[in-house]
C-alpha cells in the first residue's frame, strides 16, 4: 500500500464477549508484513507481552482507557490518536479501532467521516456477533439491531457452539435485521482472513532474534495445539475463493455500478483498479469494497502503464463463472463516446474533503 495514500480505518465492533479481541488477535497474527495501527479501549487479552517484546506498543498502539470512543463530544481525542498513528514515520498500512462493547458504531462512523485528517479514510465497519448468545444479547441490549443495521460486514462468531439448525435460524434473523445484501461470515474462535479487510505484505522486518510476526505466529501455533491436540487446524477462511478479472477494454461505469449493487452476500471483498476511459475521467479508479462498504479513489497512471482493469474478488459460495460473465458484460467498446454524467454513480463513492455525513446511518457510504 502506498504510504502517501490515505490509511483505511476499520471499525471492529460488537458487544462484550462477542469475540472482538480474538478477531483482532487473528488479524494481527495473520497480517504478514502489513503494519497495523490499533486503537482499543483497553488491552484486554491482546498479546501485550508479545507486543512489548517486539517494541510495538509505543509505536503502533494507543489505548483509550477512559471510556468509549463515541463519548468524545467533538471527536478531538480520537482525531489525536489517529493523527499519531497516521504519521509517516510509523508507515502504518491500516488502522483497526476495536470499539468498546457499549460503543455506538454509528457515532464512530460519523466521527471518522467528518475527520479533517487527509492521511486517513473510513474503511468500513465490522460487527462481531456471538452465535451462542445471540438471543440473550438482543434481550440485554435492544440496540443490537441498530448496530447490525449499520454494519458493512457481520462476523457470526462461535458457530462451533451451536448446531446447524440454530445457525440457520440466526442467519435468517440477521438477514431481516441487517441492511439488504450485508454479508454474514460464519467462523469460530474469531478466525477470519485478514485479506477480507486489507492487503497483506510479505514479512520483511525482524527485531532482534524474533520478529513481531514470529511471536504472534508462535502464539497462534500454541493456541491451535492446545485446542486440537495437534498441529495448526484448518482455519475457516480455507473455504474462501479468490477470483481475478482483467480487461484490456474499458468498463462501462453504469454497468459496473449495477454489478456492484447486485453483488451477492457471499462476495466479501472486491479490490483493484478500474479503467472507464470516459472523457474527463481517463485516470484509473482504485476500488475497495468490504461487505456493503464501497469506495473509489482516482489514481494517476504510471508512465507507459497499460490502460487495463484488474480486480480481485474474494468470497464464499459464490457463482464464480457467473460473476466473471457479469464483469465481462460491463466492457465498453466506445468509452470515448460516453457522456460525463455516466460517471455520476462512481463519483458518489469518491471521498471529498469535508464530505457530508448525512448518508452514514445506512452504510457509512452512499450505498443502499
Cell of 104: 455506538
This prediction has a pTM of 0.76
Least confident of 76-90, 128-142, 314-328: 76-90
**Residue 254 reports pLDDT greater than 90:** yes
The rounded distance, in Å, linking the Cα atoms of 94 and 11 is 11
CA separation, residue 18 to residues 103, 120, 312, 342, 354 (Å): 14, 27, 30, 43, 34
Average pLDDT, stretch 51-75?
53
pLDDT band of residue 193 (cuts 50, 70, 90) is confident
- Residue 112: helix, strand or coil by DSSP? helix
The rounded distance, in Å, linking the Cα atoms of 236 and 268 is 14
**Residue 67 reports pLDDT greater than 70:** no
Tell the burial category of 35 from Cβ atoms under 10 Å away from its Cβ (0-12, 13-18, 19+).
Answer: buried
pLDDT tens-digit readout, 290-345: 888 999 999 999 999 999 999 999 988 889 999 999 999 999 999 999 999 999 99
Output the furthest CA–CA distance in the chain (Å, rounded). 63
Average pLDDT, stretch 232-249?
69
- Residue 276: helix, strand or coil by DSSP? coil
- The candidate with the shortest Cα–Cα distance to 262, out of 250, 273, 254, is 254
**Residue 223 reports pLDDT greater than 90:** no
**Which residues, in sequence order, are CB contacts of 236 under 8 Å at separation 6+?**
186, 187, 188, 191, 192
CA separation, residue 143 to residues 12, 103, 104, 140 (Å): 16, 10, 9, 9
The rounded distance, in Å, linking the Cα atoms of 183 and 93 is 24
3 or 42: which carries more pLDDT confidence? 42
Strands 309-315 and 267-275: antiparallel
Amino acid at each position: 500500500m502506498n504510504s502517501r495514500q490515505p490509511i483505511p480505518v476499520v471499525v471492529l465492533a460488537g458487544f462484550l464477549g462477542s469475540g472482538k479481541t480474538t478477531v483482532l488477535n487473528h488479524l494481527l497474527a495473520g497480517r504478514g508484513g502489513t503494519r497495523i495501527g490499533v486503537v482499543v479501549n483497553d488491552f484486554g487479552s491482546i498479546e501485550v507481552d508479545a507486543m512489548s517484546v517486539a517494541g510495538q506498543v509505543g509505536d503502533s498502539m494507543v489505548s483509550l482507557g477512559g471510556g468509549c470512543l463515541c463519548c468524545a463530544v467533538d471527536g478531538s481525542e480520537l482525531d489525536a490518536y489517529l493523527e499519531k498513528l497516521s504519521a509517516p514515520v510509523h508507515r502504518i498500512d491500516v488502522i483497526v479501532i476495536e470499539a468498546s462493547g457499549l460503543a455506538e458504531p454509528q457515532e464512530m462512523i460519523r466521527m471518522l467521516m467528518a475527520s479533517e485528517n487527509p492521511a486517513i479514510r473510513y474503511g468500513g465497519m465490522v460487527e462481531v456477533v456471538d452465535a451462542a448468545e445471540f438471543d440473550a444479547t438482543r434481550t440485554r441490549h435492544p440496540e443490537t439491531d441498530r448496530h447490525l443495521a449499520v454494519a458493512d460486514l457481520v462476523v457470526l462468531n462461535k458457530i462451533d457452539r451451536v448446531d446447524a439448525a440454530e445457525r440457520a435460524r440466526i442467519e435468517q434473523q440477521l438477514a431481516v435485521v441487517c441492511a439488504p445484501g450485508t454479508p454474514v461470515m460464519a467462523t469460530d474462535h474469531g478466525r477470519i482472513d485478514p485479506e477480507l479487510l486489507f492487503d497483506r505484505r510479505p514479512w520483511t522486518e525482524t527485531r532482534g532474534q524474533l520478529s513481531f510476526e514470529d511471536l504472534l505466529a508462535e502464539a497462534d501455533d500454541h493456541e491451535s495445539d492446545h485446542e486440537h491436540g495437534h498441529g495448526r487446524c484448518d482455519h475457516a477462511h480455507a473455504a474462501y475463493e479468490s477470483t481475478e478479472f482483467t480487461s484490456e477494454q474499458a468498463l462501462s461505469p453504469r454497468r459496473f455500478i449495477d454489478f456492484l449493487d447486485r453483488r451477492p452476500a457471499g462476495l466479501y471483498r472486491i479490490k483493484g483498479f478500474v479503467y472507464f476511459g470516459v472523457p474527463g475521467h481517463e485516470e484509473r479508479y482504485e476500488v475497495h469494497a468490504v461487505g456493503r462498504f464501497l469506495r473509489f479513489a482516482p489514481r494517476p497512471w504510471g508512465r507507459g502503464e497499460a490502460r487495463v482493469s484488474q480486480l480481485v474478488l474474494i468470497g464464499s459460495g459464490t457463482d464464480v463463472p457467473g460473476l466473471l460473465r457479469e464483469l465481462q458484460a460491463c466492457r465498453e467498446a466506445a468509452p470515448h463516446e460516453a457522456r460525463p454524467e455516466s460517471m455520476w454513480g462512481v463519483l458518489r463513492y469518491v471521498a471529498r474533503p469535508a464530505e457530508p455525513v448525512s448518508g452514514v446511518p445506512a452504510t457509512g457510504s452512499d450505498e443502499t
